[in-house]
Amino acid sequence: MATPAAADAVPGFAELPLREELLDALARLGYEEPTPIQREAIPHVIERRDLLGQAATGTGKTAAFALPILQRMVEQGEQREGSAPMALVLVPTRELAVQVCEAVHRYGRDVGVRVLPVYGGQPIGRQIRSLERGVDVVVATPGRALDHMNRGTLALDELAMTVLDEADEMFDMGFAEDIETIMEEIPEGCQTVLFSATMPPRIERMASGNLTDPVRIQIARETSAAGEAPLVRQSAYVVPRAHKPAAIGRLLDVESPTATIVFCRTREEVDQLSEVLNGRGHRSEALHGGMSQEQRDRTLGRLRAGTIDLVVATDVAARGLDIEHLSHVVNYNVPSAPDSYVHRIGRVGRAGREGVAITLVEPREHRMLKAIRRATDYTITVQKLPTIADIRARRLELTTAALRESLLDDEAEDDREHFRVVVETLADEFDVMEVALAAVKLAHEASGGSVDEEEEIPEVSIKPEQKDKGRKQRDNGKRGQRSEGGEQRGGRESTGGMTRLFIGAGRGAKVRPQDLVGAITGESELRGRDIGHIEIAERFSLVEVPAASADEVISALKNTTIKGRKAPVRRDAKESAK
């Protein structure tokens, strides 16, 4: 079934039964090796087995189903007549629909895949026209998929593969019934793959009803992957993707590490980040599998000698490196598996020295961080990024320290004497304090200490589950589930720290709880389970959201439509009066 591997395919991927066009795409994207979920899942999915995978965002699960879909599409080739899709991927949010489409498109560029995102909030007419023209893969939120099925604009009879992505999240958002209805229409013999970050009983039930003898794969194992926690201070920072380069720059400024290794996922990411950091005045070099051994050795030599102070690397390139004096390890993304995290941070804190591990977490990756905490039992503290004021203070501290050192240095005393004439001359004209201030300013600027044009990095609220130590809040599957209409029980047990929002659309406008949850999670950083009590009245709805995210949700909802209409959104009057 598989074609021989491409000549320049990345070794780890070449061992998977993937076609040359797909291997080429992966090499071009700078992927250096499959993530554990990809390595384990892809062979089974290619063999057309049903699969039940426990994996969160950040593990690389999208490629684990997207590559087999593309392979199947190519294999069906000419036999595929008509315009009905051969694969349907159901996802909880519009954001994920778009992301998955982009991924399918990236991997399938060379095989000419036609992929369409289908979600609520977008004019249905445009989606209908695209479906009529013909698509291979539809990535849809369940509500909108059902809508199209009822209109007869989405035919499922040619489906060869169905994927349920982030199944637990879809359940949390009240899509269980919609999913069941869709699954009833899936043709006999269609391969089904289900991914979920957690496996509560309701997901197991749904899997046993819809999957046939599935292969089970669990990536974030709950057993301890590590022995004793190393002597490493471990922090995580929640940062939107666009602000990660600035965030890492700030962290490095504040930490002033002696020698750092920054881990990225791909060669491209390594090259880009290294460039950005050099632009910010750090001395960094790239290290990845695309470089010759000689180049890599030279880079490491410079790190050891202190000519550079950081190396930006992929896992593959950094494997087997022995750098004695590393002080910091930075994960530019959450590693794709707990083992990888353990392995990376094991590079610092050696020989009794304290090391520092920093992990940047995109809001959507917070579950992967949680999985790592659970699997390792390490304490990883979520912290706030240093502010611009913190950076300024830190740089002033450095300038102060440099001046103090110079003042205390007896040998420098003679050197300083050369400058006495400058100070004496200026002292005739100015106050000595003023002279000192001007001199310090010049010294500060010369050492790169002044902060200008720093971009603001928005603070992303940390959800309660991100704060836990990984032990207490296991998903027990007992969360209340929203059903259609009427008053609803929310997903949270308590409403502490929640704010109630008024939304000027209700039952009269056919608004259902899942429409509100879909709009909120699609437009903000919140996930389904962050949303509290939802009440739908005839002409308006009330929704509880975490207080820290209220402003973000209000401004996001103002820019979108609910059930095709703009609706006024504000803090509920009773709430504001409190």
Asked whether position 57 contacts ligand AMP by CB under 6 A, the answer is: yes
Asked whether position 54 contacts ligand AMP by CB under 6 A, the answer is: no
**3-class DSSP state of 318:** helix
Among 45, 51, 62, 499, binds ligand AMP (CB under 6 A): 62
Asked whether position 367 contacts ligand AMP by CB under 6 A, the answer is: no
Order of all β-strands in the sheet with 569-571: 534-536, 541-546, 498-503, 569-571
* Min separation Cβ 38 and ligand AMP, Å: 6
Q: Check: CB of residue 463 under 8 Å from CB of residue 530.
A: yes
Contact range with ligand AMP by CB under 6 A, out of 57-65, 141-149, 240-248, 512-520 = 57-65
Contact range with ligand AMP by CB under 6 A, out of 54-62, 155-163, 245-253, 353-361 = 54-62
- Kindly determine how many residues on this chain lie close enough to bind ligand AMP according to the rule CB under 6 A: 13
Residue closer to ligand AMP by CB (options 102, 575) is: 102
Q: What is the 3-state secondary structure (H, E, C) of 165-208?
A: CCHHHHHHCCCHHHHHHHHHCCCCCCEEEEEECCCCHHHHHHHH
- Calpha distance 370→464 (Å, rounded): 11
- Calpha distance 286→311 (Å, rounded): 6
Residues 19 to 38 in contact with ligand AMP, rule: CB under 6 A: 31, 34-35, 38
Query: Which helix (H) or strand (E) is 117 found in, with range?
Result: strand 115-118
Asked whether position 386 contacts ligand AMP by CB under 6 A, the answer is: no
Structure tokens belonging to residue 319 = 């494997």
* Min separation Cβ 288 and ligand AMP, Å: 11
**3-class DSSP state of 510:** coil
Of the candidates 474, 254, 518, the one whose C-alpha atom is nearest the C-alpha of residue 367 is 474
* Min separation Cβ 59 and ligand AMP, Å: 5
What type of residue sits at position 419?
F
* Min separation Cβ 165 and ligand AMP, Å: 9
Residue closer to ligand AMP by CB (options 63, 248) is: 63
Instruction: Give 441's Cβ-side CA count (13 Å radius).
Output: 6
What is the maximal distance between C-alpha atoms in the chain? 95
Q: Which residues have CB under 8 Å from 380's CB, separation 6+?
A: 234, 235, 236, 357, 359, 369, 372, 373
Measured distance between the N- and C-terminal CA atoms of the chain, rounded to whole angstroms: 66
Q: Check: CB of residue 426 under 8 Å from CB of residue 435.
A: yes
Contact range with ligand AMP by CB under 6 A, out of 61-69, 222-230, 316-324, 350-358 = 61-69
Residue closer to ligand AMP by CB (options 105, 507) is: 105
Residue closer to ligand AMP by CB (options 58, 386) is: 58
Among 53, 58, 386, 532, binds ligand AMP (CB under 6 A): 58
Query: Which helix (H) or strand (E) is 398 found in, with range?
Result: helix 388-408
Q: Check: CB of residue 374 under 8 Å from CB of residue 226.
A: no
* Min separation Cβ 136 and ligand AMP, Å: 19
Asked whether position 331 contacts ligand AMP by CB under 6 A, the answer is: no
Asked whether position 540 contacts ligand AMP by CB under 6 A, the answer is: no
Residue closer to ligand AMP by CB (options 90, 553) is: 90
Asked whether position 93 contacts ligand AMP by CB under 6 A, the answer is: no
* Min separation Cβ 423 and ligand AMP, Å: 56
* Min separation Cβ 60 and ligand AMP, Å: 3
Residue closer to ligand AMP by CB (options 265, 288) is: 265
Residues 207 to 266 in contact with ligand AMP, rule: CB under 6 A: 265-266
Among 19, 44, 61, 296, binds ligand AMP (CB under 6 A): 61
* Min separation Cβ 5 and ligand AMP, Å: 15
Contact range with ligand AMP by CB under 6 A, out of 60-68, 69-77, 249-257, 389-397 = 60-68
- Calpha distance 399→304 (Å, rounded): 26
Q: Which residues have CB under 8 Å from 47's CB, separation 6+?
A: none
**3-class DSSP state of 535:** strand
Instruction: Give 561's Cβ-side CA count (13 Å radius).
Output: 11
Token match 């849809």: residue?
140
Residue closer to ligand AMP by CB (options 20, 158) is: 20
Residues that bind ligand AMP (CB under 6 A): 31, 34-35, 38, 57-63, 265-266
